[in-house]
Amino acid sequence: MISDPDSKWMKYVNSLLDEIDPHVVKMHVLNAGYQAGFYGFSKTSEFAKEHSYRIPWIILMDPTSACNQHCKGCWSAEYGHKISLSYEDLDSIVTQGEELGIFFYMMTGGEPLIRKADIIRLAEKHNRSFFYAFTNGTLVDNAFCKEMKRLGNISLALSVEGFEEQNDFRRGEGCFNKDMKAMDLLKENGLVFGTSTICP
């Protein structure tokens, strides 16, 4: 695999080294790799042995059920946008989680970036943890990318349904191009991001 420069993994490693900001790489390796994957996992396993119950290595939480979009068939668009966790509750969940050895926090919604100021605050305070948010991409702007770059411990997965026609059929006209613009901004800022998509 290493000797084949065209293998997808070598291309991935090379683009990580060439395109991602060094501080972002360092924080991803330390927080998502060492802290969550190694140290955290060892700590939660010790708890499991000591107390005979398992502790997860990851917590999934929704900062808000609110969303700025109305995609077809989504509960967030249909049930109203009234439920959000306060910053204090989010902070308490992460604080308690870290005490147990949980250093990976995944966020969905609603649209988590409606709370982007609180996500930045949370990632800054809990700088040994890693935060991963599933987003529709419409609220990604340059100021947010700069903050992600400064901290290095946040990564995003941008939702796409397919190419423009399929995506905008469900998500609304113009959404595909907004997603592409968000990806361009993330790339320009040397950030790590992925996509979230549904296989038919």
Applying CB under 6 A, the residues found at the interface with ligand SF4 are 67, 69-71, 74, 76-77, 109-111, 136, 159
Q: Which is nearer to ligand SF4, 97 or 110 (CB)?
A: 110
Q: Can you tell me the distance from the alpha carbon of 153 to that of 132, in angstroms, rounded to the nearest whole number?
A: 8
**Least distance in angstroms from the C-beta of 108 to ligand SF4:** 8
Asked if 8 and 176 touch (Cβ cutoff 8 Å), the reply is no
Calpha distance 57→44 (Å, rounded): 7
Shortest Å, Cβ 96 to ligand SF4 = 26
We find the least distance from the C-beta atom of residue 117 to ligand SF4, in angstroms, to be: 19
Give the Cα separation of 41 and 7 in Å (integer): 30
Q: Residue 152: which of 178, 181, 191 has the closest Cα?
A: 191
Q: Which is nearer to ligand SF4, 40 or 110 (by Cβ)? A: 110
Q: How far is CA 36 from CA 27, 39, 118, 126, in A?
A: 12, 6, 21, 12
Residue 74: left if φ>0, alpha if ψ -120 to 50, beta else—which one? beta
CB-wise, 69 or 127, nearer to ligand SF4? 69
Beta carbon nearer to ligand SF4, 147 or 161:
161
Tokens encoding 74: 């989504």
Q: Is the Cβ of residue 36 or residue 133 nearer to ligand SF4 in the bound state?
A: 133
Beta bridge partners of 61: 107
CB-nearer residue toward ligand SF4: 111 or 118: 111
Residue 75 beta carbon to ligand SF4: minimum distance, rounded to whole angstroms: 7
CB of residue 17 to ligand SF4, shortest distance in Å:
33
DSSP classification of residue 18: H
CB 141, min distance to ligand SF4, A: 17
